[in-house]
Structure 1
Amino acid sequence: LELVNRALVLLREGKPARFLVRKPEEERAFGMLGLLTSKPVLYVCNVEEGAAATGNDFSRAVMEQARKEGAVAVAISAKIESEIATLSRAERAEFLDTLGLEEAGLDRLIRAGYQLLDLITYFTVGPKEARAWTITRGTKAPAAAGVIHTDFEKGFIRAETIAYADYVALGGEAGARDAGKLRLEGKEYVVADGDVMHFRFNT
């Protein structure tokens, strides 16, 4: 109730609940209130093609407001994004280069969303497919395995782990293993962004 009353002070002033100063131990209870304005905010500014790289006066004003709120803002050009969608990978890179852009707006938007929600990605790679799995930063190996299947978390034994940079530089799992870059991690291991993982578990 005390948390509700503190939130009401802000809400009655027309301010969003996410501005409420709270202790880490209050986060769970705060989340259970289900307040719409407690959700994190990502502003997306649609700008003209010429302003895709730098933004314009309007998008800069939105970005400044987002900074004050502790929110995130991204400027993209919907027109450029629609053109990129029709191009091959090679053509896409060339097209972005001519516009002075390092990456597509959609990629920046996804990255901003991950940053705002404090999410990271780990990978599983097999002979038939590679998969990306999204988890919250700070997740330990058993809970990360549970994203694939709850049985993986319940019966977790260990995780065979390779850092993404090592996996790419050494040409995959075999090269990383030969170079001594494959690590065995236990239940307390905190998964890093980009880890390539193989889980061992009891059924």
Structure 2
Amino acid sequence: MTVDQSGLVVDVTIVERWRDSVPPRELGELLRTTANTALLERVTAQLAEGAPRPSGPAQPAAALGDAGGDPAGVVARGLKQELQHLLARFDTELEQYRAELTKAAQTPTTGVAANGVVSVSLGGNGFTAVELEPAWLHTARHTEIRVTVLSAFQDAQRRTAHAAIAPPASVARLVELGSDPQALLRALGLGG
């Protein structure tokens, strides 16, 4: 099982002779366990690497403006007012965002492969079930199983409610402003 930087399942490996080492009735549980292990390893690696950088495009330095070293100038005053306004809303909006994400993460969802023979359930603690139609599994080739299982995993992750929750405006803007510290300092009249 391979997951990308954001924790999405991007590949599943099913060897040609998988039936020699895994009874067909146990394949779903093995896939569920393997997917959860891959997610845990991805999270552990991210924690070891440090906090992830924002993935969105950073605002160009020129767009912030340059206070020309004058912290009392028009550009710096405007940015300070914006920062005060953002920080005043930040705690409340961040708490609401956390609550929405927590609720979404705890809402179970199920993804199904297009042909309906594989379903993957996702809950608050990762993948909770992988079910494969026994009659189909008995005759399916390993390559067909791989593609079908991958599509069900991806459908489950696509359906998760938290994937559609955007961060609040204050959080997004503060991340954007902090993405280029030198430009921020110039706009505040504190950098050269």
TM-score band w.r.t. shorter chain: under 0.3
| Bigger proportion of residues as helix | 2
Between Structure 1 and Structure 2, the one with more strand by share is 1
**Higher RCO (CA-CA < 8 Å; seq separation 6+):** 2
Q: Which has the larger radius of gyration?
A: 2
TM-score (norm 2): 0.23
